[in-house]
Amino acid sequence: MTQVMGLRSSRRGVWSVLTGLPLLALTASLCAHAQEFPVKPVRVVVPYSAGGPVDMMARAVAKYMANASGQPFTVENRGGAGGTIGTALVARAAPDGYTVVFNGTLAHTLGPMLRPKSAGYTLSDMSAVGIFSSSSNFLVVAPSLNVKSVKELIARAKADEGKLAFSSAGPASNPHLGAELFKSLAGVQMEHIAYKGVSDTVPDLVSGRVPVAFASPTLALPLIRDNRIVALATTGEKRMKGWEQLPTTAEAGVPGYVFESTYIMAAPVKTPAVVMARLNALLQQALDDPDTRTALEKLGLEPMKNTTTQADQLVVAELRRWEDIVRRLDLRLE
């Protein structure tokens, strides 16, 4: 009897090993696939025009990822509709990791909420590879406006009865929503002039034709240093590193105002987990690379590191933080 039981136990052991082999083979295959990815060029969609902050940071990160992987990460600008056109293009792409999008996290998150009929994607269509950088912004004006403080700007906006204009990179872009929050908290009206991309706003901002903007460091810093625009405040919770002489917007006269930008790399939702992990690993490596970090810091950005799961959680948190604000502003883009 003991012999029979031993034989049965031995057979079960052999059967367990044999049935486990396919799983081991699958695991090995997936790991090999992740290590091999990418085996062809990766299409990097920037849903704004060339030369803007998202474009510049995407190119800095893509350069490293291409060098590290041995495959091109080719940036393609597909601007329009506050970033939804380019993002929808990626949402419809094959979920294989070879088409990704770089965007502002806020525009990426709120696009479907603000454009439920025309966005072309929902948040459930996309997965975050990582949220890789953050920054405060600058509240800036044209020198010709002859405004030297946030309180003076508020007084001017009230005197102009809604005719004072601000620019943005398009509806639902960070500059637009930053201005809408400012209008709500400061109790002023200003006219929104939307452009196809943030770099397109520069001529009219500098000339004073559209004299107000909530601009990213990427856009603002060169213009501030050349005295082509005037910085009134920064938009973060704390004063910006290197620009401590500027007050925050809250300190300067708009209590409760905080507006910080983060930036996301995302892919279609059904992209295999091993490929997402590989993309995330390349992204994290890029953020550890001294040249990439320097490039981001020159754009006024602070690198952020997180897993794909953590990044998806940050997207949900961003949505929850802004839902009530968007409803309170009754902000509709279609």
pLDDT at site 174: 81
Q: ω before 38 within 30° of 0 (cis)?
A: yes
Greater pLDDT, 327 or 142 = 142
**Range with the lowest mean pLDDT among 164-173, 188-197, 300-309?**
164-173
Q: What's the half-sphere exposure (Cβ side, CA atoms, 13 Å) at 272?
A: 13
* CB-count burial class (<10 Å; 0-12, 13-18, 19+) for 12: exposed
Q: How far apart are CA 29 and CA 37, in angstroms?
A: 12
Superfamily for domain range 138-234: Periplasmic binding protein-like II (3.40.190.10)
Q: Does 172 score more than 60 pLDDT?
A: yes
pLDDT in tens, 79-109: 988 899 999 999 999 999 999 999 999 989 9
**How many other C-beta atoms lie within 10 A of the C-beta of residue 273?**
11
**DSSP H helices in the chain:** 2-36, 53-69, 84-91, 105-114, 150-159, 174-186, 202-207, 217-225, 273-288, 290-298, 308-329
Residue with tokens 């970033």: 83
Tokens of 140: 């800036």
- Show me where the domains of the chain are located: 41-134+261-329, 138-234
pLDDT at 34: 53
| CATH superfamily of domain region 41-134+261-329 | Bordetella uptake gene, domain 1 (3.40.190.150)
Q: Is the predicted pLDDT of residue 26 greater than 60, yes or no?
A: no
pLDDT classification of 6: cutoffs 50, 70, 90:
very low
Q: How many helices (H) and strands (E) does the chain have?
A: 11, 11
* Residues 6+ away with beta carbon under 8 Å from 142: 205, 206, 207, 208, 211, 212, 229, 230
Q: Given a cut of 70, is residue 49 above it in pLDDT? A: yes
pLDDT of residue 13: 52
Return d(Cα 215, Cα 222) in angstroms, integer: 11
The DSSP symbol for 269 reads T
Q: Is the pLDDT of residue 177 over 90?
A: no
Domains 41-134+261-329 and 138-234 agree in fold: yes
